[in-house]
Structure 1
Amino acid sequence: MKIVFLQSSSTSYSFLDYNESEVDSSIPSNCSLYLFGRALITRNVELINSLYDLETIFVPKKLNFISSIIKSTTDIPVEEIDENTYSKLIKSELRVPNKFENVEKNNFGNSSNNVQQNALITNNNLLFLPCNTVIGKRSTRKSIEYYKFQYPWEFLDIIQELLKNEVTFSIISNKASIAKTAIIEGPCIIEDNVVIDDFAKIKGPSYIGNGSFVGMGSLIRNSMIDYNTNIGFNCEIGKTYFAGNAKISHHNVILDSIIGKNVWFGGYSGTANVLLTRKNVQYRINNELIDTGRNHFGAVVSNNSAIGASVIILPGRKIPPDSIIPAGTIFSK
């Protein structure tokens, strides 16, 4: 089996705006987001390889940053193809009926019906894989479980689905330090060098990545927290994704949100996740308001941002990368 990565809508903008040092391309992307401590692209390749013994991975030159991610984690040959070759493959192969007609499809939100974005197509030993796809661990050779996303709230939905399906019992590293008074309720994955302080509660399914810290009296529920994230004293983190290396101070409430790398939250700050009207939350992309279809959605806080003390971020807002939000701000832009 060979993989051909497809360009997709998720490469048109990034949730968290990875900078050029992280994505070597003029096209921003969400492909570098981590799931369970591994890059999304790495996870997909590893799972498909376990089923089909991959021979080659074809990557369009426009998505050349994918090549470096794959090469750093696997020995499978990666071949970058020019626009001509890519177009010929698409035209000649994607018209053929899908071999995986009974594949389990998991689509969230307002996805396009474009075949290149909403189907895994295989023919002549080629598997066409959209970039905005997450492969599930319940996949088999006959039925690939997959999820597609375009918007941040769809990605959060996928996180919840993965936690529910893949964290079915607790795996706690013997290198983690968990206080005797801490409570682990429900299935959780707790990686190496994690410290859970006194009277903290981790409610599963949840994932806490390598080197993270959960402070005294804090509650973590149904969240994916990646590496070196520090959650301070008496915080509540619910249904939230942390990309890693965040520092969250005391008495913060962060709900239904996506938090980028290297983000700092001062004390008594948080993300509101419900409108007073109880209507669906709207989210702005390129000056256009988009209905998320959800009445619970918090915020997207992009990489390298600093949020001052006593800041409230209203539902459906995005903090741009490298932002500094002054103490006491009600962020409503």
Structure 2
Amino acid sequence: MNFTIKDMFNLDECFERAIFEGLQYPWEALPKIKDFLLGFSKTLPKDFERIDEFVWVGKGTTIEKTVTIKGPAIIGYNCELRQCAFIRDSVIIGNECVIGNSTELKNSLLFNKVQVPHFNYIGDSILGYKAHTGAGVICSNLKSTGGTVKIKAADTYIETGLRKFGAMIGDNAEIGCNSVLNPGAVIGRNSIVYPLTSVKGYVPGNHILKNAGELVIRRIDS
């Protein structure tokens, strides 16, 4: 079960990498996002513009007029925030990310070059370098039965202690259209989730999860 921070993410592609210091698993950063963000904002370079009381935006980023940002939030360089995107409650967005039409982000952290471009909900989640979600992908962050989120991996469950926990999506992972990542989903590096899939638990890196639940090793062409 390779889902430590180093297993899933290239920290060189995360300007906010200091949030992971002293942690083993990526979801341990979720409760720290707000306090880290407010402290980190004091160290931002001068080419970050403060556009609201607790909202900072990097040079080259474009924001459509219909975008709503409720801080605290830090948005990196050369990002694209499209029509009706909604960012709220402690979000850090890396460089060159795309936040698309009617996409909502809440208490989440995005590495560089993440794309969540069409009608996505990303709540209490971390998305690695070049992770991409297809249209309509939902990171569900709250169990309908209540209680804390546990990660299912093989025949064991890992207690996170978190009531709200969406998904951890590794570097270069691809999530197909209209898939639902159930609370505590962990998708390894370079993996693919087929469209219309309900994802529960751990998907190892370099695998394909088909919508019938079949898990196969992904062939990576050179």
Residue 269 of structure 1 is matched in structure 2 by 137
Distance 2:55 2:46 in 1: 7
Residue 8 of structure 2 is matched in structure 1 by 17
Instruction: Output aligned runs, 1:192-211, within 5 Å.
Output: 192-211=59-78
Is the Cα–Cα contact under 8 Å of residues 108 and 125 in structure 2 kept in the other structure?
yes
Distance 1:228 1:12 in 2: 25
Shift of 1:251: 0.8
Give 2:86's aligned amino acid.
L
RMSD: 2.8
Shift of 1:285: 6.1
Shift of 1:281: 0.3
Distance 1:225 1:166 in 2: 13
Instruction: Output aligned runs, 1:306-321, within 5 Å.
Output: 306-321=174-189
Residue 39 of structure 2 is matched in structure 1 by 165
Shift of 1:278: 1.1
Shift of 1:248: 1.2
- 2:222 is equivalent to residue 242 of structure 1: no
Q: Structure 1 residues 223, 172: closer, same or farther in 2, change over 3 A?
A: farther
Is the Cα–Cα contact under 8 Å of residues 76 and 94 in structure 2 kept in the other structure?
yes
Identity %: 24
Shift of 1:271: 0.2
Structure 1: where are the runs of 5+ without partners? 1-10, 23-30, 44-131, 134-147, 177-183
Residue 150 of structure 1 is matched in structure 2 by 24
Residue 87 of structure 1 is matched in structure 2 by none
Instruction: Output aligned runs, 1:215-294, within 5 Å.
Output: 215-221=82-88, 222-284=90-152, 288-294=156-162
Is the Cα–Cα contact under 8 Å of residues 16 and 300 in structure 1 kept in the other structure?
no
Give 2:60's aligned amino acid.
N
Distance 1:251 1:185 in 2: 25
Distance 1:162 1:286 in 2: 33
Structure 2: where are the runs of 5+ without partners? 202-222
Distance 1:15 1:202 in 2: 31
Is the Cα–Cα contact under 8 Å of residues 217 and 234 in structure 1 kept in the other structure?
yes
Residue 193 of structure 2 is matched in structure 1 by 325
Shift of 1:283: 2.2
Distance 1:194 1:327 in 2: 30
Residue 75 of structure 1 is matched in structure 2 by none
Residue 168 of structure 2 is matched in structure 1 by 300
Distance 1:193 1:288 in 2: 45
Is the Cα–Cα contact under 8 Å of residues 4 and 24 in structure 2 kept in the other structure?
no
**Helix, strand or coil: the match of 1:210?**
coil
Shift of 1:313: 0.2
Q: Structure 1 residues 224, 328: closer, same or farther in 2, change over 3 A?
A: same
**Helix, strand or coil: the match of 2:78?**
coil
Shift of 1:300: 0.3
Give 1 or 2 for the bigger CA radius of gyration.
Answer: 1
Q: Which has the higher contact order (CA 8 A, sep 6+)?
A: 2
Is the Cα–Cα contact under 8 Å of residues 16 and 260 in structure 1 kept in the other structure?
no
Higher helix share: 1
Shift of 1:32: 3.9
Q: How many residue pairs end up in the alignment?
A: 198
**Helix, strand or coil: the match of 1:167?**
helix
Give 1:150's aligned amino acid.
Q
Q: Deviations over 1:203-251 (max 9, x none)?
A: 1111101111111111112101101110110110010110110111211
Distance 1:329 1:172 in 2: 43
Shift of 1:172: 8.6
Higher strand share: 2
**Helix, strand or coil: the match of 1:223?**
strand
Shift of 1:329: 0.8
